[in-house]
Structure formats: C-alpha cells, structure tokens
Structure 1
C-alpha cells in the first residue's frame, strides 16, 4: 500500500484532542503537530514515525510491532517507525491509536502554557 498525506490527514481527524492540530513538515514529510511540536510524521518506505515514552517505544520494538528510528548515526530514543499494513483501513486501525498515544505524550511534555510554534521535538 502506498502512503500519502491524505492518510495522515485521516489519522489526524480521528485523534481526540482539546486543541487545534496542524499538519506541518518534518524532514520534508507531512507531520502532525500539537502546540507547535511534532507528534507523528510520515517516514520513508510507508512508515508512520511517532514519539512515545521511551519504555513504550522499547516495548513495541521488542514485540516486533515497530522499528527504531535512526537519523544519521544516532538512534532516536523516543521515536519509532510503524510500517503501513496491506490496506488503508488496517493501516488506519494500527496507526491511529499510536498517533493518539504520541499526541498525549507530546502534550504532556510541552505543558499547558508552552506553544513553541515551529519547533519539533
């Protein structure tokens, strides 16, 4: 299945949130932002990359449900990549809960009054 920005828009539309989400970019790929921070973005090879608490990220990688994200020579501690499934609906079913976890995590890190627009986590 080929992933596109419309799929990311569909994921964003399914997220439960109290504040506006925006679609921005990270590494020239579309991404979901909350309070100016990147929550999730589309990676290469049809993967959704999300920011989760370190322990949760490690558990998903250990279970074989996700892969570590490496940028250059550095493995990103809280970022994981989750491949698309064979069809759109099963991909949405897999990605949406992880994007929700990522949104909740990022909002908890930013705090109530911080709106560092344009900066990524």
Structure 2
C-alpha cells in the first residue's frame, strides 16, 4: 500500500472520531508535522501521520508503557525519539478511539 493510500485509509477511521471532538469547545483542526491535527486551545493532541498511523500525544511514561504493544511505537523524527508522541498503526484501529480520548484528556489538562 502506498503512503497516500495508507493515509486515505487512516482518514476513514480518524475522521468520524475527529468529528466528535470538533463539536467540543476549544477544539479545532490546525497544522502539525505536514498534516492537520486535532487541537485543544491551539495545542495538537492527535493527527494522521504521513504513513497512515494515528499519532497521539500522551504522557512520556504512558508512551514508554505502550511502546511495542500491538504494533504501537514511539514516534521518531530525524532519528530523535519523541518522548510524548505515539504512533498507532491502522492495524490497531480498535485502540484509536480510547487513545484519542486519552490524548485529548492529557493535552486538555496541560494546556492553559
């Protein structure tokens, strides 16, 4: 599957979930890492990455806990591991909704 096809497939999972958040106060969509991400008060908490995985912001300890489980992995950019960003592949789609909720709760709590 090409990256474009993987992203399109990911959006079939992500977009209905995102719609639920877009009706909440302070939530909108904005740019993040060359994509568009869900934001709460201007801070991104989730987006579809360029390879078709859900990318969520979670506490570093939670990313440590989930890394390697069900194909989930820590996001790496330019050979640097991102401490609070987790990739959730489309193959782990049942985990998208709860992890999206977890990311929203985390970023909502830490964003003034």
TM-score range, shorter chain: 0.7 to 0.9
Structure 1's unaligned 5+ residue stretches are 112-121
With normalisation by structure 1, the TM-score equals 0.74
Q: Shift of residue 34 of structure 1? A: 0.6
Query: What whole-Å deviation, never above 9, does each CA across 1:64-109 have from its counterpart, x for those lacking one?
Result: 4411111112110010100002xxxx72x32111011001100111
With normalisation by structure 2, the TM-score equals 0.79
Matched-pair contact (CA < 8 Å) for 2:27–2:39: yes
Query: What whole-Å deviation, never above 9, does each CA across 1:4-62 have from its counterpart, x for those lacking one?
Result: 34543311234498523112221221211111000011112210110001111111114
From 67, 81, 86, the counterpart of 1:80: 86
Partner of 1:13: 19
Q: Equivalent residues in 2 for 1:36-47 (5 A)? A: 36-47=42-53
Structure 2's unaligned 5+ residue stretches are none
Once residues 57 and 17 of structure 1 are traced to their aligned partners in structure 2, the CA distance between those partners, rounded to angstroms, is: 27
Partner of 1:2: 6
Flag the structure with higher helix content: 2
Q: How many residues align?
A: 106
